[in-house]
């Protein structure tokens, strides 16, 4: 069969077939008289085999060694599996860094390129276990805050105009860009490009304004799902652990013993229940 037929049956383009021949991966027979290539079924199988290994990103020199019998397919696949796993870790780190930069939404002029390159080129950074967890925890906390946040305005909120003024004051105090799309007691607006809906939570002494992202599913951390679940659990447990430690330490200083252990445990349990309830909401 000719090269056009071979390309159709193997799924390999004609230029690539010629390239593989040039690289010594394929050596089709030639027709007597006109010297045209004559591809056999075995050649088609070889082309499909090359195509399969290239889809696994196996380098051409390694494929050549396999076809020549100088390397076993099993050993090559095991080595490639290790290489792909290492690359996946690098890509995972790159994806997380991209997500972090995207959340900051920098401009070309404001981006600290040198700092970015230092982080990306530092081979020790991915191995820094503690700093990695701290950075991921900060990322999770930032995204959670973007999905839902609340604040206490100055004075009560009784009119749409007062609601708008409170949002403007909050945005200005935090250096954020506010764009109001719907005024009212349930206003809709954007902060730094993120769309929100807000409502007033009346209190006995002060009102609270609660803001929910209109599309929270679009605000993702860029972290692996397992890592994010672990950090969410940690975010619930940490305040309770710190509360327990603080009360126990205060009791030890005050009485010289562990007499406040029950109070520390009770307070920590209360904080834990509160954080768990808040997470469920």
- Please provide the size of the chain in residues: 281
Q: Within a domain: residue 237?
A: yes
Specify whether 158 is located in the same domain as 196: yes
99 vs 105: CA distance, rounded Å:
10
How many domains does the chain fold into? Answer: 3
Q: What are the tens digits of pLDDT across the range 116-166?
A: 777 776 655 544 444 566 677 777 788 888 889 999 998 889 999 999 999
Q: Within a domain: residue 91?
A: no
Tell me the CA distances in angstroms from 70 to 31, 61, 73, 223, one per residue in order: 30, 11, 10, 41
Largest CA distance in the chain: 105
Strands 188-191 and 178-182: antiparallel
- Mean pLDDT taken over the chain: 80
Q: Within a domain: residue 100?
A: no
Specify whether 233 is located in the same domain as 188: no
More confident of the two residues 177 and 132: 177
Q: Within a domain: residue 244?
A: yes
Specify whether 174 is located in the same domain as 231: no
Last residue of a domain, one of 37, 71, 105: 71
Last residue of a domain, one of 38, 71, 104: 71
The domain of 237 spans 225-280
For residue 103, pLDDT over 90 is answered with no
Q: What are the tens digits of pLDDT across the range 198-216?
A: 999 987 778 899 999 998 8
Place 29 in a pLDDT band, splitting at 50, 70 and 90.
confident
Q: What are the tens digits of pLDDT across the range 90-99?
A: 777 777 778 7
Q: Within a domain: residue 103?
A: no
Last residue of a domain, one of 50, 71, 92: 71
Residue 62: CATH number of its domain: 1.10.1660.10
Question: Which of 101, 93, 148 lies closest to 122, judged by CA?
Answer: 93
119 vs 175: CA distance, rounded Å:
26
Place 220 in a pLDDT band, splitting at 50, 70 and 90.
confident
Prediction pTM value = 0.46
183 vs 181: CA distance, rounded Å:
7
Q: Within a domain: residue 247?
A: yes
Q: What are the tens digits of pLDDT across the range 229-260?
A: 777 777 676 666 667 676 666 666 666 555 55
């Amino acid at each position: 069969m000719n090269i056009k037929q071979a390309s159709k049956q193997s799924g390999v383009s004609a230029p690539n077939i010629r390239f593989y021949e040039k690289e010594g991966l394929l050596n089709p027979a030639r027709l007597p008289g006109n010297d045209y290539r004559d591809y056999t079924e075995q050649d088609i199988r070889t082309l499909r085999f090359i195509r399969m290994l290239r889809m696994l990103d196996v380098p051409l020199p390694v494929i050549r060694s396999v076809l020549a019998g100088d390397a076993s397919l099993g050993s090559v696949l095991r080595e490639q599996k290790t290489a792909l796993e290492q690359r996946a870790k690098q890509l995972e780190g790159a994806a997380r860094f991209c997500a972090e930069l995207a959340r900051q939404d920098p401009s070309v002029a404001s981006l600290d390129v040198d700092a970015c390159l230092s982080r990306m080129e530092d081979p020790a950074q991915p191995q820094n276990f503690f700093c990695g967890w701290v950075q991921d925890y900060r990322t999770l906390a930032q995204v959670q805050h973007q999905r839902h946040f609340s604040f206490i305005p100055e004075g009560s909120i009784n009119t749409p105009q007062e609601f708008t003024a409170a949002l403007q004051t909050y945005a200005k105090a935090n250096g954020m860009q506010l764009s109001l799309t719907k005024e009212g007691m349930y206003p809709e607006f954007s902060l730094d490009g993120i769309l929100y809906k807000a409502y007033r939570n009346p209190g006995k002494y002060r009102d609270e304004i609660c803001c929910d992202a209109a599309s929270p599913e679009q605000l993702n951390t860029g972290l692996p799902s397992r890592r994010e679940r672990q950090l969410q659990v940690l975010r619930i447990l940490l305040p309770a652990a710190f509360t327990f430690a603080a009360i126990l330490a205060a009791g030890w200083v005050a009485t010289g013993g562990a007499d406040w252990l029950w109070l520390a445990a009770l307070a920590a349990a209360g904080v834990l229940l509160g954080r768990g309830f808040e997470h469920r909401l």
